[in-house]
């Protein structure tokens, strides 16, 4: 392994999202990070007769394609880091072979499972130990749904998606803690697997491997992998915040700790960064999560359905033969009346793939509102509803944690959505700072650079780099809007 002492380094940030993936070449020095896209590819579910799956083998192939390109540009590549979405996993047998493609979190195999598990283990106890919100796709519920299957019976290891890819690259087994914290099987205080919960849930303890932290050495490229992608030396893989939100929050260009973040993509992850978990009964009832962040922090947040509603609506319209582009729809939506119809984006009916516009229209009617009459009106309904959900989550996070905030940082793909950013500022009554768009890859690269010795210090020092080096846009809240947003929250029965 090469020396850590360096003034600059090139690293590869593998960033896998629920709808697309990318391999970014990051050239890092003490003042800036230059990101260059080495490879980008679509990602999505594959429907098989038994379930909805991810194509893990294709993800690996696309990842190695991107790494090959990155190495061709920078043969001195100093490190590789991998992040992805949470909760989904692959099972390995005793020989290290994958026992089938991972099941997609939007599959319905967990229908009815959370209720059974909560009845057996207790909602209060689950929250006290794991600090995690109850979501139907949490790994605990997925594994419970898999009990009795041949795959789980044969499994010797369970690896979440970024850990699975890291294992294929290096041959070293390990589970990174920020993603492990989303399983509802990690003790939020000790940051170790909760063996007691695992045993009482009836899950095989053998499948839960050693944990590692962001910045840890995760192994080096296997010789055959290195040869295949053109590496001339054993490039190390570095554990980063392997939950994509954990990496994104590293790159929030905040000046103080008085900020809320919205990591906005397929999901909107809305919350605060804290030093201790909030495990109160009120926090549990509000369904907030305490997820592990980089440097021992807590990402105190709620999952909001996010841009998935727009993505699925566009897919449905195009499948129906409509020639629609999101940019044009957002421009037209900005001209439509504000808050004419709103929905609760977190209604479980919006979770599975399908005809999203029809579902949203029916939800509007159920709530006594007019159904949006055309795609632009539907987009306005979605964006208003997301901004409203952001408002609810930001306000509740402050109330439940006792932490006041002065600014909301929107990072990720949603930072490009000018209408959503402005409406979020209006709804929250706080300035919104939008950017960086590639926050996840940037945070991934920053953690690698610190592990290599190019950067030092804590999160404040890491965040100073994107603050100096990124074009940010600030949206100011419109005056006098609070009453209208409160009325909209009342309409759907959410605290405003």
User: How many residues are listed for the chain in this entry?
Assistant: 496
Pick the closest to residue 219 from 62, 87, 81, 69 (CA basis): 81
Q: Are 164 and 99 in contact (CB under 8 A)?
A: no
Confidence of residue 495 (pLDDT cuts 50, 70, 90): confident
The whole-number average pLDDT for the span 199-206 is 98
Angle between the N-to-C axes of helices 308-319 and 356-366, in degrees from 0 to 180, rounded to the nearest 10: 120
Dump pLDDT digits (tens) for 347-369.
999 999 999 999 999 999 999 99
Q: In terms of DSSP bridges, do strands 432-434 and 473-475 run parallel, antiparallel, or are they unpaired?
A: antiparallel
Q: Is the pLDDT of residue 446 over 80?
A: yes
Look at residue 4 and tell me whether its pLDDT is greater than 50.
no
Catalytic annotation on 404? Answer: no
> Per-residue pLDDT tens for 278-319?
999 999 999 999 999 999 999 999 999 999 999 999 999 999
Percent of the residues in the chain that have a pLDDT greater than 90, as a whole number: 96
Whether the pLDDT of residue 382 is over 90: the answer is: yes
How far, in whole angstroms, is CA 434 from its chain's centroid? 17
Contact 221, 231 (CB under 8 A): yes
Please report which confidence band the pLDDT of residue 5 belongs to, taking 50, 70 and 90 as the band edges. low
Helices (H), 244-368: 244-250, 281-285, 308-319, 326-333, 356-366
Q: Which of 15, 244, 344, 426 is catalytic?
A: 244
pLDDT tens for residues 454-463? 999 999 999 9
Closest to 368 measured CA to CA, from 391, 346, 341: 341
- In what order do the strands lie in the sheet containing 217-220? 33-42, 20-29, 8-16, 79-84, 236-238, 217-220
| DSSP 8-state symbol, 103 | B
Average pLDDT score over residue span 110-134? 97
């Amino acid at each position: 392994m090469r020396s850590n002492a360096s003034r600059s380094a090139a690293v590869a940030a593998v960033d896998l999202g629920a709808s697309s993936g990318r391999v970014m070449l990051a050239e890092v020095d003490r003042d800036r990070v230059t990101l260059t896209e080495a490879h980008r590819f679509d990602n999505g579910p594959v429907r098989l007769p038994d379930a909805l799956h991810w194509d893990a083998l294709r993800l690996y192939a696309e990842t190695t394609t991107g790494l090959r390109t990155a190495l061709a540009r920078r043969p001195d590549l100093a490190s590789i880091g991998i992040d992805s979405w949470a909760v989904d996993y692959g099972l390995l047998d005793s020989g290290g072979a994958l026992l089938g493609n991972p099941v997609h979190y939007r599959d319905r195999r967990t229908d009815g499972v959370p209720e059974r598990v909560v009845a057996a283990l207790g909602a209060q106890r689950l929250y006290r130990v794991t600090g995690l919100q109850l979501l139907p796709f949490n790994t605990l519920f997925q594994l419970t749904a898999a009990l009795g299957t041949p795959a789980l019976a044969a499994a010797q290891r369970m690896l979440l998606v970024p850990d699975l890819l890291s294992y294929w690259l290096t041959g070293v087994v390990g589970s990174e803690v920020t993603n492990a914290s989303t399983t509802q099987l990690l003790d939020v205080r000790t940051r170790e697997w909760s063996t007691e919960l695992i045993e009482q849930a009836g899950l095989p303890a053998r499948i839960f491997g050693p944990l590692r932290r962001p910045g840890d050495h995760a192994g080096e490229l296997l010789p055959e992998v290195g040869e295949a992608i053109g590496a001339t030396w054993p490039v190390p893989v570095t554990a980063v915040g392997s939950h994509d939100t954990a990496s994104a929050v590293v790159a929030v260009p905040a000046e103080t700790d008085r900020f809320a973040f919205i990591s906005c993509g397929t999901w909107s992850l809305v919350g605060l960064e804290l030093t201790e978990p909030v495990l109160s009964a009120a926090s549990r009832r509000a369904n907030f999560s305490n997820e592990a962040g980089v440097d021992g922090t807590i990402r105190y947040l709620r999952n909001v359905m996010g841009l998935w509603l727009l993505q699925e609506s566009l897919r449905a319209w195009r499948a129906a033969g409509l020639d629609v582009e999101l940019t044009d729809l957002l421009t037209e939506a900005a001209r439509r009346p504000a808050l004419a119809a709103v929905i609760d984006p977190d209604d479980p009916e919006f979770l599975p793939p399908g005809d999203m516009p029809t579902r949203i229209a029916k939800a509007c009617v159920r709530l006594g509102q007019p159904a949006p009459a055309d795609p632009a009106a539907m987009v306005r309904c979605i964006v208003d509803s997301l901004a409203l959900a952001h408002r609810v989550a930001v306000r509740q996070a402050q109330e439940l944690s006792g932490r006041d905030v002065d600014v909301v940082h929107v990072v990720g793909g949603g930072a490009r959505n000018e209408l959503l950013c402005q409406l979020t500022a209006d709804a929250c009554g706080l300035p919104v700072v939008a950017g960086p768009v590639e926050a996840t890859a940037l945070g991934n690269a920053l953690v690698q650079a610190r592990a290599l010795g190019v950067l030092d210090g804590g999160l404040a020092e890491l965040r100073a780099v994107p603050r100096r080096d990124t074009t940010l846009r600030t949206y100011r809240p419109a005056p006098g809007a609070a009453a209208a947003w409160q009325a909209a929250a009342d309409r759907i029965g959410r605290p405003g």
